[in-house]
Each structure stands twice: as structure tokens, then as C-alpha cells.
Amino acid sequence: MSDILRVRGLTKRFGGLAAVNEVDFDVREGGISGLIGPNGAGKTTIFNLITGVYKVSSGTVSFGGQDITDLEPHRVAGLGVTRTFQNIRLFKNLSVFENVLTACHASASYGLADSLLRLPRFRREEKAIKDKADGLLEILGLADRKDAIANGLPYGLQRRLEITRALALDPRLLLLDEPAAGMNPDETEQLMRLIGEIRDRFKLSVLVIEHHMDLVMGLCEHIVVLNFGQKLADGAPDAIRGDKRVVEAYLGGGDQ
């Protein structure tokens, strides 16, 4: 299997602090990889560097063989890297369906003129977009909440809605930042299964940041461990579980 994402020498300094320091890792095409590490280890910063939210201090990111280092976020998304956020970002006062529609529109191909003139192409595409949104909501188990206002959804379903929106942009690589945060064990278990299903059905690759060790170990084929901005280890779950440095720095940390 080839690598869809390659991160080399990735470094981000905020003033004197190296939040991410010379990090190298790969994400295999079609694989589910995990990014773990204690609070403040630099996990979210890595997502922000991959997606162009932050400019790198040094190092490179390549996606599908193309150098995407420091591209604008919308261009990175356009190439097929989409994400969810640690702090949920939704249109809180819009319905579930509208939230997904706005994301589907972002990847539609018609222009403003088509939509203003309501040309047949626009109407055809509108229909296709609505069908796509319905289909995604069905797969993500949100179809029966279609008309609910996003803000009123239980936390776990808001996280699912965010994943739906990320999928609506037709990613080849999906980045999930703590998708199970705030979920109970049942919801976490369901989410884990769902992420596997999404990977299989949409034939995409996943990189997930997660604190729930069960989720990471059960779901990921490959795990990258960060500590104080540096890569401590990476490998298969069993190797990570048995890695002394990882156990000391993270797993044995007491609060996991």
C-alpha cells in the first residue's frame, strides 16, 4: 500500500515554544492511523499545519505525492483533505440537513450565473446535492434528525454531524480531532464502528486524534505518539502498547 500523506521534519514554533518539532510520519492509503499524546503534545497543531490553518516553521507535507505545504485551507480541502475540529464547528442555528447542504454546496460545480438564472443544470445539481445530503445523513444515522436544529442535538450527534459535513466535501483523507470527546462508552463504541464503516464505504484514509485508548487501539492500524511536540514512537497498536517510552510518557500518565 502506498502512503497518501507524508509529513517530514514538520516544525511549528510559537515564540520560543516548539509546539511541533521535526516530526516525520506517513498515513497509508486506505488506512486508519491514530495520533496520540498527552495534552499540549502538538496533535491539533499538526492538523492545523496539514490543513494550512497555520504556516509551517519548517518541514513539508505532501498529499497524494503533491507538495501541499502551506497551501490555503480551501485549496487543501479542495484537493481532498477535510477535517473536524476539537471544538465542534457547526451552523448552530441551522437544521441538520441545512448544515450538510452548505457543505455539499462547497463541492458543487455550477457557477453563480447558473444559480441566479436557475438554469436546468442548476436545478439538476440542486437535486443531486439534496440527494447527496440525504444519503450521507442516512449513512451517519442522522436521517431521523434531519430537521432538528444543530444546537439542540445531543453532543454525540453534533460530533456525527460534523463528520457528515467533512464527508460532504468528498475527502480522500479525513482528519478527526477527538471525535469521541464528551461521548459515553456506548456512543464511543458506536463511533468506532462508524469510522471503520466510513473508511470502507467511501474508500478513504483516516487520521484520528483521540484520547480514548480503547478507541485508538481497536480502530487504528498504525499509531503515532507525540510528546512535547516530538514523535516518541510510531507503529502497530501492539508495538505501541509495549513501548516503554510510550507507557512512561503517556499510557502510565494516570488520567487515561
Ligand X SMILES: Nc1ncnc2c1ncn2[C@@H]1O[C@H](COP(=O)(O)OP(=O)(O)OP(=O)(O)O)[C@@H](O)[C@H]1O
- Residue 164 grid coordinates: 457528515
Nearest to 224 by CA among 212, 207, 204: 207
The nearer residue to ligand X, 48 or 69, going by C-beta atoms, is: 48
- What's 253's DSSP letter? G
E strands, the chain, in order: 3-14, 17-28, 32-36, 58-63, 66-67, 81-83, 173-177, 205-209, 222-227, 230-235
Rounded least distance, CB 54 to ligand X, Å:
7
Site string for Mg ion, 24-63 (x = CB under 5 A): -------------------xx-------------------
The nearer residue to ligand X, 31 or 42, going by C-beta atoms, is: 42
Q: What is the Cα–Cα distance from 173 to 179, expressed in whole angstroms?
A: 15
The nearer residue to ligand X, 40 or 196, going by C-beta atoms, is: 40
Rounded least distance, CB 150 to Mg ion, Å:
22
Interface of this chain with ligand X, residues 163 to 222, rule: CB under 6 A: none
Distances (CA, A) of 35 to 139, 175, 187, 232: 25, 10, 20, 11
Rounded least distance, CB 216 to ligand X, Å:
13
Which listed option, ligand X, Mg ion, none, makes contact with residue 60 (CB within 5 to 8 Å by class)? Answer: none
Site string for ligand X, 98-127 (x = CB under 6 A): ------------------------------
Interface of this chain with ligand X, residues 68 to 87, rule: CB under 6 A: 86
Which residues, other chains included, contact 188 with Cβ-Cβ below 8 Å and sequence gap of 6+? 180, 212, 214, 215
Size of residue set near ligand X by CB under 6 A = 12
Cβ 142 vs Cβ 150: under 8 Å: no
Count other C-beta atoms under 10 Å from residue 225's C-beta: 25
The nearer residue to ligand X, 48 or 205, going by C-beta atoms, is: 48
Binding site for ligand X (CB under 6 A): 14, 17, 19, 37, 39-45, 86
Binding site for Mg ion (CB under 5 A): 43-44, 86
